[in-house]
Amino acid sequence: MFQKLKNIYHGFQALIAGVFYGFPSRRLKVLGVTGTDGKTTTTHLIYHILKTSGKRVSMISTVYARVGEREYETGLHTTTPSPFVIQRMLREAVKHGDEYFVLETTSHALDQNRVWGVKYEASVITNITHEHLDYHKTYEDYVRAKARLLKNSKVSFINEEDGSYKLLQIQSPKSKGYNSQVKIIDGVAGLTSFNRQNFAAAYSVCKTLGLTDGEILTAMKTFELPKGRLELVYDGDFKIIIDFAHTPNAFLRLLPEIKKQYLKGKGKLIHIFGAAGERDQSKRGLMGDASGQFSDLVILTEEDYRSEDVMEICNQIAAGLENKGLKKVTYDGLRNSEESVYSIVVNREKAIKVAIQAVRQDDVIVITGKSHEKSLARGSVEYPWSEHEAVKNALRS
């Protein structure tokens, strides 16, 4: 009941914001992107394709907002901002003379009516997997929340290769399907297998806007992944990769790709991660299970534990690791272990240092969950944080 009242309040805010700024989305072609994983990459790719093709376009994503030539922070741990911020940026895009606006849109924003009044020209759902069930309660409710974007769009696309496809078809029978077998994507060198679906999603949206295959492929060839998405931040005797993956499905897509692309049968995969407090607890063991399928050494650590006990969060993840046969050791025992093992190092900066102390030639360290984010929630305090600076400091020491 309390959440329903909050949603009414957010809807009222969205109405006031829309009226105040003159419902600017009516003068733009707004392109909505949602999904459990891959929505930020897809958002940036659509923006890049349109920009490279000479279109006037702005964007709001998890990483930042870019309106005209200016960049804005979107807030701590936030993907889709408040109704007033959204409407203000849409109006700025109109003033800039933009034709398109790419808006990364979360299930929370849809369910809470924060994007009420935004008129979508086209939308796409990348996938829907296990996440946010603390909020939505059931997978079916999660799907229904995402489907609201499809219903509010002139044209919409859903991923035929995702488990949510049939449910979404029921929710939005007019939506068009897409899959990763788009032939022009073969022309993009070095494309990871899991990113093919994101590229296919962007292709579907841009194609319906009237862009040619030539324009789309030319732009795709110069696209760089957003900060903290499969980002190689150190490449020496060993490698360090930063990625935003924070769901079981994201681990199942990311980790085997890293083993295939970077390890090639040599070295070990060292995975550093945690899980957010006051968020979906049911995914924690599944995250451990997913990591345990591919990782040789795992270091569990803090990740915005908020009011929860960080050790309890790590123990919940560890249950999944142990299910895959990983044994718990002290962090000193990581260096010489020939088995698949894990350790708990609560302090995230120390966890990164411990991994670098344990690394050997040809190993790959992958750090997931924080990526581009600039703060770390410990209790009720947001502490400044940079995953990239933490890696640099650990390498120096």
| 88-126 pLDDT tens trace | 999 999 999 999 999 999 988 998 989 999 999 999 999
Taking alpha carbons only, the member of 153, 148, 156 closest to residue 11 is 148
Cα angle at 228 between 142 and 133, to 5 degrees? 15
What pLDDT is recorded for position 2? 58
Residue 76 has pLDDT above 60, yes or no: no
| 49-63 pLDDT tens trace | 999 999 999 999 999
DSSP-derived 3-state class of residue 154 = strand
Dihedral sign, Cα of residue 77, residue 78, residue 84, residue 90: positive
| 293-307 pLDDT tens trace | 999 999 999 999 999
Q: Are 262 and 291 in contact (CB under 8 A)?
A: no
Distance separating alpha carbons of residues 379 and 383, to the nearest angstrom: 10
What pLDDT is recorded for position 131? 78
Tell how far CA 385 is from the center of its chain. 18
Question: 236: which 2 tokens?
Answer: 């020496």
Q: Are 217 and 35 in contact (CB under 8 A)?
A: no
Residue 393 has pLDDT above 90, yes or no: yes
The DSSP secondary-structure symbol of 261 reads I
Q: Report all structural domains of the chain as residue ranges with CATH numbers, in order of start.
A: 2-220 (3.40.1190.10), 231-396 (3.90.190.20)
Distances from the Cα of 14 to the Cαs of 66, 76, 98, 103, 107, in angstroms?
Answer: 21, 20, 22, 16, 16
Q: Are 95 and 127 in contact (CB under 8 A)?
A: no
What residue has token string 């290769």? Answer: 161
The residues facing 248 across adjacent strands are none
What pLDDT is recorded for position 78? 62
E-strand stretches of 86-193: 100-104, 120-125, 153-159, 176-178
Mean pLDDT of all residues in the chain?
93
Q: Are 87 and 17 in contact (CB under 8 A)?
A: yes
The residues facing 60 across adjacent strands are 65, 103
Distance separating alpha carbons of residues 102 and 49, to the nearest angstrom: 11
Distances from the Cα of 73 to the Cαs of 57, 62, 69, 199, in angstroms?
Answer: 18, 9, 14, 25
Tell how far CA 126 is from the center of its chain. 11
| 244-253 pLDDT tens trace | 999 999 999 9
Share of the chain above pLDDT 70, in %: 97
| 134-143 pLDDT tens trace | 777 899 999 9
What residue has token string 């090639």? Answer: 264
Bridge pairing between strands 176-178 and 153-159: parallel
Q: Are 369 and 244 in contact (CB under 8 A)?
A: yes
Bridge pairing between strands 239-243 and 231-235: antiparallel
Those residues whose C-beta lies under 8 Å from the C-beta of residue 137, and which sit 6 or more positions away, are none
What pLDDT is recorded for position 156? 98
Residue 192 has pLDDT above 90, yes or no: no
